[in-house]
Amino acid sequence: MRCEEPVKILEILRLTEQGYSQREIAKSVKCGKSTVGGIQRRCRNCKLQYDAAAMMTNDEIKRLLYPDSFGQPIKVNPDWPSIHERLQKNKRLNLQYLWEEYKAENTDGLSYSRFCQRYLDWKNESGKNVIMVQNREPGKELFVDWMGDKLDCVFDSSTGQNLTAHFFVATLGDSSYPYVEAFPDEKLDKWLIAHVNALRYLGGVPQVIVPDNCKTATTKPNYYDPVINKSYWEFAKNYKVAILPARVREPQDKASVESSIGWLETWLLEWLRGKRYFGFEALNTEIQCRMKELVKRPFQKRKGNRQSVFETLDKPALRPLPYTQFEYADYIVRRTPANYHVEYDCFYYSVPHGLHKQLVTIRATVTTIEILNDNRERVTLHQRRYTGSRYITNLSHMPPNHRHQHDAKNFDGAKYRMWAKNIGVQTYAVIDNLLSSQITEEQAYRSCMGVLQCSKKYGNARLEAACIKAIAMNSGTYSTITTILKNGQDKVPATVTSKPTPKHTNLRGSEAYV
């Protein structure tokens, strides 16, 4: 027996007591004449009047008029909270599978249709299906995400292949004003470039950016304490914004961008589908032209459009952009090898030799290589190299013995002569003679270095005096000069004798060489 709704019963009672016919009452409450007669009969049997019925609850009216329907035993409900928890934790489960488990243990239990209906009723009663109203403060939150759909619409003339376009979307919370940009992939550098371009396009900075729990945003997704990617954290510090990732598998946390993505997949991607562009720059130019039209379309359930609400509410609430634009930096941890040069992108950059075997962090931008120690303190800064020598060395990073060896290897004849000239004229004459006497002057470099290094041990004055003696002896060599200095002969004044060498039978004259 079908139970009529209490609202309809009350209306039939009210109209009956006012003297209306069954036909008129049936027409008013939109039911059959026989239904009106059946309800009037049940009310007479129970002696139910309108005033008394109006004070009763719906269940009380149904129990009074339809006692047979409420006399049947009610089957016990399953454990809905545990069933709901299993569905949330395991996306492979469904109600059909869980009902079959339940039916195997309860052969006289609910049918599948009643199982599903009671589960839905439980969700409605417990508030699982209700949606919280989100009041978005103007200019406060920027929601960012990648579109799920992609298009093979970019032609690479160098390879002759079509490239896949990935679409980045950012929307402001109150106006849902969107920014869209296409990239060849969804890597970290594209993610950060898209953020910088979006803020520049909006002309200001929000207080909060809400991304998904993607790897380019978080290295460890967690609702209470998510670990933000280092480069993304540097971006947040530069623009002084808070990064608050949405909860895992909770798209309602960023409903603004989710709904905008669905809207853009229809009105933007379908419009681009089938077209071909020779480069991402051309594609993004076309996207911006299309977006200028789409943001002017009026809202269906709200006054104005995305552009008008953005200019009226969101844009004035944005903070000004910083003076310096964020530059993307890549972070890599390296252990310093024995040659104290850490590698990045096939080039090797020096660090202080004291950091041998220690972990350092490389912060690489387009123009610089910054190296940080384990306390996040900068230990050195290099200009990034793309061509040329693979090893980039700061001489101050070398230990003393390496520095001396390096200096020796990098001296040429001009440097040796300049060094000797600063000591004295006679020292310059010795060095110049050593360099000029060789077929290739490189053969004399070590001798020159040995002579000039004596100035550090004995001083410039003694070296100059030793060179005078060596020239007088016609033996301006390294061994002669060091012997003079070691024996202190440079301090003994030169003695000049006017007596000729006495003749002797063992001495040959010049005629012996004719």
- Is 116 domain-assigned? yes
Query: What is the arithmetic mean of pLDDT over 82-97?
Result: 83
Higher pLDDT, 337 or 514: 337
Q: Tell me whether residue 260 is in a domain.
A: yes
How high is the pLDDT of residue 370?
93
Whether the model clears a pTM of 0.85, i.e. scores above it, the answer is: no
Q: Are residues 358 and 469 in the same domain?
A: no
Same domain, 178 and 198: yes
| 342 and 466 co-located in one domain | no
**Residue 83: predicted pLDDT:** 87
Q: Which residues form the domain of 112?
A: 83-126
pLDDT at position 381 is: 93
CB 20 within 8 A of CB 28: yes
Do 34 and 166 lie in one domain? The reply is no
Single out the residue of 62, 105, 67 nearest to residue 83, CA to CA: 105
Amino acid at 294: L
Structure tokens at 119: 């589960």
Q: How far apart are CA 215 and CA 231, in angstroms?
A: 12
Same domain, 308 and 416: no
Q: Are residues 153 and 222 in the same domain?
A: yes
Mean pLDDT, rounded, for 298-323:
86
Mapping DSSP onto H, E and C, the string for 438-491 reads CCCHHHHHHHHHHHHHHHHHHCHHHHHHHHHHHHHCCCCCHHHHHHHHHHCHHH
Q: CATH number for the domain including 269? A: 3.30.420.10
Instruction: Please report whether residue 133 resides in a domain.
Output: no
Residues 48 and 464: their CA atoms lie apart, in Å, by: 133
212-216 average pLDDT score: 73
Note whether residue 134 is domain-resident: no
Q: Can you tell me the mean pLDDT for 99-117?
A: 86
Q: What is the pLDDT of residue 496?
A: 46
Residue 348 has pLDDT above 50, yes or no: yes
Indicate whether 135 belongs to any domain: no
Burial class (CB in 10 A: 0-12, 13-18, 19+), 46: middle
Question: Which residues are paired to 154 by β-bridges?
Answer: 163, 277
Please tell me whether residues 194 and 248 are part of one structural domain: yes
pLDDT at 251: 54
In this structure, are 334 and 253 located in the same domain? no
Place of tokens 């080039």: 347
Token pair in block for residue 79: 């454990």
Residue length of the chain = 514
Positive or negative, the Cα torsion across 432, 434, 436, 441? negative
Residues 340 and 301 in one domain: no
Statement: residue 42 has pLDDT above 50: yes
Widest CA span of the chain, in angstroms? 172
pLDDT at site 1? 45
pLDDT, averaged across the chain: 83
Q: Is the pLDDT of residue 473 over 60?
A: yes
Q: Report the domain count for the chain.
A: 5
Cα angle value 47/48/52 (rounded, 5°)? 135
Tokens (6 digits) for 378: 């900068």
Give pLDDT tens digits for 239-283.
888 888 876 655 555 556 677 787 888 888 888 888 888 888 899
Q: Are residues 303 and 281 in the same domain?
A: yes
Q: Is 497 part of a structural domain of the chain?
A: no
Going through 300-346 in order, the beta strands assigned E by DSSP cover: 330-335, 341-344
pLDDT bucket at 341, cuts 50 / 70 / 90: very high
Which residue did the predictor score with more confidence, 200 or 504? 200
Give CA separation, 50 vs 27, 32, 357, in Å.
Answer: 19, 20, 92
Q: Across-strand partners of 313?
A: none
What integer is the mean pLDDT of 115-143?
Answer: 77
Same domain, 292 and 244: yes
Indicate whether 342 belongs to any domain: yes
Q: Is the pLDDT of residue 504 over 80?
A: no
pLDDT for 387 beyond 50: yes
How far apart (Å, rounded) are the C-alpha atoms in residues 254 and 145?
Answer: 9
pLDDT of residue 56: 86
| Residues 302 and 172 occupy one common structural domain | yes
